[in-house]
Amino acid sequence: MTYKHLPLMAALLLLPVLGLAADKEAGFTDIHGNTMNMSELQGKWVVVNYWATWCPPCLEELPELEQFHDTHKDDLAVVLAFNTEDGLTMDELAAFADDYMLSFPIIPQQDTLPSFGPVPGLPTTFLIDPQGEVAARQVGKVTAEMIEGFIARH
């Protein structure tokens, strides 16, 4: 891929999704034992990322998600990372998060994870708007710039 294709790719990424509502009462517990639900996050943009530790594109986008979260967590938006792997213990996932210096909530694979729409591959990222509606979905890597650009246009 050459850099001349980047504007076209950016236009194709983070496609708006119509007609999907986030489960506003979906509850989950992160790797540090913090519990939350989507209704607590209304009023902010929520970046919901489905990922796995074995997924190279997922690992490549983690620093971007961390940058976005660190910049916006106190006002505009938060990142929630839903790990899709069976068999990882909370301690293993917490050690992974420490190794990658991740501060956003990481939710381990559970019997029922909230559904924001189809996850055809990893990584898949959903943007939930401040009213709790699914605004966009991206299958493949995202960057902080892509997320910020989408939010700025909406």
In a domain? residue 45 = yes
pLDDT at 74: 94
CA distance 154 to 151: 5
CA distance 100 to 96: 6
CA distance 137 to 15: 6
Map residue 93 onto helix, strand or coil: helix
In a domain? residue 32 = no
pLDDT at 66: 98
DSSP string computed for 35-73: EEEGGGGTTSEEEEEEE-TT-HHHHHHHHHHHHHHHHHT
In a domain? residue 100 = yes
In a domain? residue 7 = yes
Query: Which among 49, 78, 32 is positioned nearest to 137, based on CA atoms?
Result: 49
The number of distinct structural domains making up the chain is 1
pLDDT at 38: 85
In a domain? residue 129 = yes
pTM: 0.85
In a domain? residue 30 = no
In a domain? residue 103 = yes
In a domain? residue 60 = yes
In the 8-state DSSP scheme, what is residue 150?
Answer: H
Query: Is the backbone of residue 88 left (phi > 0), alpha (psi -120 to 50) or beta?
Result: beta
Is 24 in contact with 30 (CB distance < 8 Å)?
A: no
Tokens, residue 123: 């990584």
Instruction: Note down the domain range covering 102.
Output: 3-25+39-153
> Counting Cβ atoms within 10 Å, is residue 69 exposed (0-12), middle (13-18) or buried (19+)?
buried
| CATH, residue 12 | 3.40.30.10
Query: Could you tell me the mean pLDDT of each successive run of 10 residues in the chain, 154 residues long?
Result: 39 49 71 89 94 97 97 95 92 96 92 77 95 93 96 93
pLDDT at 21: 52
